[in-house]
Copies of this chain bind each other. A is one copy, B any other.
Amino acid sequence: MNPWTKLPPDAHPALALGRRLAGAGVAAIDTPALVIDLDAMERNLTRMAEFAQKHKVRWRAHAKLHKSAALARLQMRAGAVGVCVQTTAEAELLAAGGVHNIYISNEVIATPKLERVAALAQTLHEVQGRLALAVDSAEGVQRLAAAMASRPQAGASIDVFVEIDVGQGRCGVAPGAPAVALAQEIDQHPALVFAGLQAYHGGAQHLRTVRERREAIARAVAAVTLTRQQIEATGIPVALVTGAGTGTFALEAASGVYGELQPGSFLFMDADYAQNERDPAQPQFEHALFVKTEVISTSANHVVCDAGHKSHAIDSGMPRVHTLPGGAALTYANGGDEHGILRAAVPGGALPALGQALWLIPGHCDPTVNLHDVMIGVRGGLAQGRVERVISVDARGALS
C-alpha cells in the first residue's frame, strides 16, 4: 500500500503548488527549491522501522528536521510512537496537523509558553493523545506545575522527562543526585508524570570515527545507568530512557538502557552525517533531500548558481554538488546569501552551461528545511522523475 494514500491534503501554499506541479517533470520545478527524492526517503524510513523492530526499541522521530505534519504522520504509520520537537510552537503546529503524540525534548521556562504547553496537553488529552516535556530545573518543574494547575478544565496530565547532561555540555542537570532531586520534585505535582530520563548526546553524533562515538555513548550509558539506579532507589520508577540521534542510535539501542530512540536526520541524510565513518550496526541511509538550483552566470573558471545560504544552511559546512549520471563533478563555494560558486572538481574539468539545473546535498538538513515553505516530493529519481506531491513545512520559523 502506498503510505501516502490516506493522508489529508497538505495545507496552503503546498496545496496550491502541488496542484500546479502534480505530475510535472523535475524540469518544471523553479529554482532554488527544496526537493525530496520520495523513493530514497521511503527506503530510509523502512530501514529505520526495521531496525527498531529488530532491536525491540521504540523510536520517536525528531520532527525538528522536517517540521511537517504529513511526514510526522507518515513516520508514525511506519512505526514511530510519536515525534519529538524542540519548541512549543512546533508542537502546536504539528498537533494542529493531526500529530497527537508529541514530546518537546527541550526546556520551556517562560510562563506564557508553559500556559500554551498546558493548553496543548489538555487538547491532546481530549483526543487520546499525549504531550511530554523535558526539564532540567526545579523552577521549570514548578512553573510547569503551576501552568497545569491553572487550566480551567482539570484532567489532563503531562509526561515530564528529566534531562541529564551525558556529555554535550548544553542543557541538562548532572547525572546522579541533581536528577534524583528533580524526579522527586516532579513526583510531588499531581498533573506531572515523571516519565523517565532525557539523555541525548548531541556532541557524539558528529564524531567521525565509530570508536569515538562508541566511547562517548559508553560514558552516556554509564551516566544514565547510575542516575536510573539512584532514582529508583528512592522508590520512583524510571519508565523510559530516551535519546540518541542519527549518528549513534545503534549504540544506544544496544545498551539495554535506552528504551526509545530520537533520530531525525536519517530520513533525509545530510552531507555532514555522510562524512561519519559508518557503523555497520546501523542501516545505510541515502541522501533524500536536495536543493535544486540553476546556473545563472558563467565564466572561464567557474559558474554561479542561484542557491546561496538563504537556500541552505551552512552551519555544518557547504553543500555537496550531487553528480547525476553524465554530469560534471563540481565543488561548491559560498557565494553569499543568493549565490553559490561552482568549480570543476578536477582542474580543467567540464563546467555546466548557463541555465543548467544542478542538485545540492545540504550540509545540514534541519536548518535548511526551516528556510523553505514547502518541500517538493519527486518520484522516480532526480534525472527523470515527476512531482508527486508538495509537502508543507508546517512549523517553518516556529521558533517560540
**Interface, chain A (partner B; CB < 8 A):** 30-33, 64, 86-87, 106-110, 112-113, 136-137, 139-140, 165, 169-174, 202, 294-299, 302, 304, 306-307, 309-311, 313-315, 334-339, 341, 354-355, 366-367, 370-373, 396-397, 399-400
Among B174, B310, B400, point to the contact of A31 (Cβ < 8 A).
B400
Whether A30 lies near B112 (C-beta < 8 A) is yes
How far does the Cβ of A180 sit from chain B's closest Cβ, in whole Å?
17
How far does the Cβ of A111 sit from chain B's closest Cβ, in whole Å?
9
Bound-state Cα–Cα, A379 to B115, Å: 28
How far does the Cβ of A326 sit from chain B's closest Cβ, in whole Å?
22
- Chain B residues contacting A107 (CB-CB under 8 Å) are 296-297, 304
- Chain B residues contacting A337 (CB-CB under 8 Å) are 64, 86, 366-367, 370
- Chain B residues contacting A338 (CB-CB under 8 Å) are 64, 86-87, 106, 399
How far does the Cβ of A171 sit from chain B's closest Cβ, in whole Å?
4
Among B309, B336, B355, B366, point to the contact of A202 (Cβ < 8 A).
B336
Whether B139 lies near A310 (C-beta < 8 A) is no
- Evaluate whether A400 and B202 lie within 8 angstroms (CB atoms) in the complex, with A309-B367, A355-B110 already known: no
Bound-state Cα–Cα, A102 to B357, Å: 27
- Evaluate whether A297 and B30 lie within 8 angstroms (CB atoms) in the complex, with A309-B367, A372-B397 already known: no
Bound-state Cα–Cα, A129 to B375, Å: 35
Q: Which of A137, A297, A396 has the most CB of B within 10 A?
A: A297
Whether B302 lies near A313 (C-beta < 8 A) is no
Among B32, B295, B311, B339, point to the contact of A170 (Cβ < 8 A).
B339
- Evaluate whether A298 and B399 lie within 8 angstroms (CB atoms) in the complex, with A110-B30, A171-B339, A371-B370 already known: no
- Evaluate whether A294 and B109 lie within 8 angstroms (CB atoms) in the complex, with A169-B302, A310-B367, A399-B32 already known: yes
Closest residue of chain B to A334, judged by CB?
B315
Among B171, B172, B313, B400, point to the contact of A32 (Cβ < 8 A).
B400
The 6 closest A-B pairs by CB, nearest first: A171-B297, A107-B296, A86-B338, A109-B296, A30-B400, A32-B399
- Chain B residues contacting A370 (CB-CB under 8 Å) are 310, 337, 371
